[in-house]
Amino acid sequence: MSYEKVISIETSCDDTSIAIVGHDGYVFGQVSANQDLAHQPFGGVVPEIAGRNHSIKILPLIEACLEKTNLSWDDIDGIAVTNRPGLMGSLLVGVVTAKTLSLTKEKPYIGVNHLEGHLMAPFLKDDKFQAPEDFSYPFIGLAVSGGHSQIYLVEEFGSYKVLGQTIDDAAGEAFDKFAKMVGLGFPGGAKVDKHAKEGRVDAFSYPRPMIHEKNMNMSFSGLKAAAKRQLEKMSDKEIQTQLNDLCASYQQAIIDVLISKLNRAYQEHSSIKSIVLTGGVSANSALRFQAGEWAEKNGLTLAVPPLRYCTDNAAMIGYAGIQRLNRGEKSEQTLAPSPKVYPGDFIVR
Ligand code: KG4
Ligand code: ZN
C-alpha cells in the first residue's frame, strides 16, 4: 500500500511535538509544547520532569493536531515515532503512545531515528517554506543542537555517513553553559545570539579548538573552560557591562569552528553542491548569515529550514517515517526505545 499521510510523534528530549505530514513532505499541521519553564530552575533538562510532562501533554496535542488540520483518523495511513536516540523516559512516552494507537486505530507504525529526522528537515514544506529549487541529494548536513553536533554526507534517503562530530560537548551545550555563566539562564543560545548582535567579535580572544586539525571533528569543552577562566577574572558588574562583547566574541569562536569544518567537508567532497544547516543552533542569526555568505562564495545551495523544523519537531519525524513506510518497513509491538542510535544507522568515516 502507499502511505499518503502519517501522524508523527517526537518526545526524545524536552519538546512534545505532533504533526501530520504527507509523503511529499507537506506539513498539514504541527503542534508542540515546549518545557523550558519547567527545566529553567534546574539549569538544564531534568529527565524525570521531561518524561512526566510528555505523558501529560501527548494525548491533548494529538487531539489538537487533528483538530487544527481538520483531519480525522480515517485520513491517517500510519504513525511515525522517534524511538532513538534520546532520554529513555521521554522516548518511552512517545513509543508506548504510538504502539497503543497502532493497535487501537489499526494503523501500521514505524520507529524513527531522531537524527535522520533532523537531516530530512529541508524536505518539509508548508505554505510559508520550501527548500531552494536546486537543493537535492547528495548533500552535506551540519546538525547542531543542544544534544548533537555532527557533519554528515547524505548520498540519498537512508544513506548517512558521519564525516565528523564533536568529541565532547555539543555546540548548543557550549552556548547554554556560557549563557548560564554570564547569568542569561537556560536555555541561553537565543539570548547569547541577541546580545552578540550589539557586541564586537574581536573584543575578547577565545580559542577555536581543533580548527586546524585536518578532519571534521570538533571540540567545545576547551572553549567553555577558556570562557570560565576569563569570567572568573571579571566582577559581576564588568560581566554585565561587557556582556554584548563577551557574547559576540564567544559566539564567533563557535561559528568559526562550525563553518571551517563545513568548509573542510565541502573541500573533500567538492562535487556536492547542496548544504543543509539543521538543529536548534542553526537558529543562530550570525551562523545563518555567515553560512549563507560562505555558500554564496562557493556557489553552493544552502537549505536552512525555518525554526519550527530546525529545533526538535514531529514534522521531520513524519517525513522520515513515511519514506520508510513507503519502502515497506514497519515496526513491531516489541520495538523498544533506545538511548543510542543503532549500529547500522550511520556509517562512521
Ligand atoms: O534542536 P534543539 O531544539 O534541541 C536539541 O535536540 O537539543 O536545540 C536546542 C539548542 C539549545 O542548546 C539552544 O540554546 C540552542 O539550540 N539554540 C541556539 C539558538 N536558539 C536555540 N543557539 C544559538 N543561537 C540561537 N539563536
Ligand atoms: Zn534534536
Report the separation in Å between the CA atom of 4 and the middle of ligand 1, taken as the mean of its atom positions: 31
pLDDT for res 83: 98
| CB distance 300 to 275 below 8 Å | yes
Read off the pLDDT of each residue in 314-330 and give the average, rounded to a whole number: 98
Tell me which residue of 349, 213, 208, 211 sits closest to 269, measured CA to CA: 349
Identical topology for domains 5-129+309-348 and 139-304: yes
Which residue bears the cell 522517534? 82
What pTM, to 2 d.p., does this model score? Answer: 0.94
> How far is 24 from 79, CA to CA, in rounded Å?
16
Q: Which among 175, 182, 277 is the best mutation to test ligand 1's pocket, defined by most ligand atoms within 8 Å of the CB?
A: 175
pLDDT for res 310: 93
CB-neighbour burial class of residue 212 (10 A; exposed 0-12, middle 13-18, buried 19+): exposed
Mean pLDDT is lowest, of 11-25, 34-48, 206-220, 240-254, for: 34-48
Amino acid (1-letter code) at residue 118: H
Read off the pLDDT of each residue in 138-167 and give the average, rounded to a whole number: 95
Q: For residue 279, which atom of ligand 1 is closest to its CA?
A: 1
DSSP 8-state class, residue 264: H
Mean pLDDT is lowest, of 36-50, 173-187, 320-334, for: 36-50
CATH architecture of 5-129+309-348: 2-Layer Sandwich (3.30)
Residue 45 has pLDDT above 90, yes or no: no
Could you please report the per-residue DSSP string of 74-85? Answer: GG--EEEEEEES
Report the separation in Å between the CA atom of 282 and the middle of ligand 1, taken as the mean of its atom positions: 8
From first CA to last CA, the distance across the chain in angstroms is 36
pLDDT for res 24: 98
Read off the pLDDT of each residue in 181-205 and give the average, rounded to a whole number: 95
Is ligand 1 within 6 A of the CB of residue 122?
no
Q: Which among 311, 313, 316, 341 is the best mutation to test ligand 1's pocket, defined by most ligand atoms within 8 Å of the CB?
A: 311
Read off the pLDDT of each residue in 317-322 and give the average, rounded to a whole number: 98
Read off the pLDDT of each residue in 74-95 and give the average, rounded to a whole number: 97
Is ligand 1 within 6 A of the CB of residue 277?
no
Percent of the chain at pLDDT exceeding 90 = 92
Mean pLDDT is lowest, of 37-41, 107-111, 155-159, 189-193, for: 37-41
Read off the pLDDT of each residue in 1-6 and give the average, rounded to a whole number: 94
Locate the domains of the chain by residue range. 5-129+309-348, 139-304
> How far is 215 from 167, CA to CA, in rounded Å?
12
Is the four-CA dihedral 297, 303, 306, 309 of positive or negative sign? negative
- Confidence at 237, pLDDT banded by 50, 70, 90: very high
pLDDT for res 37: 87
pLDDT for res 349: 67
Radius of gyration over every alpha carbon of the chain, rounded to an integer in angstroms: 20
- Confidence at 163, pLDDT banded by 50, 70, 90: very high
- Confidence at 150, pLDDT banded by 50, 70, 90: very high
Is ligand 1 within 6 A of the CB of residue 169?
no
Is ligand 1 within 6 A of the CB of residue 281?
yes
Is ligand 1 within 6 A of the CB of residue 176?
yes
Read off the pLDDT of each residue in 115-137 and give the average, rounded to a whole number: 96
Read off the pLDDT of each residue in 84-111 and give the average, rounded to a whole number: 98
Residue 164 has pLDDT above 90, yes or no: yes
pLDDT for res 35: 87
Read off the pLDDT of each residue in 212-224 and give the average, rounded to a whole number: 94
Q: Which ligand is nearest to the CA of 145?
A: 1
- Confidence at 316, pLDDT banded by 50, 70, 90: very high
Residue 80 has pLDDT above 80, yes or no: yes
Average model confidence (pLDDT) across the chain: 96
Cα 51 vs. chain centroid, distance in angstroms?
A: 19
CATH number of 139-304: 3.30.420.40
Read off the pLDDT of each residue in 188-195 and give the average, rounded to a whole number: 96
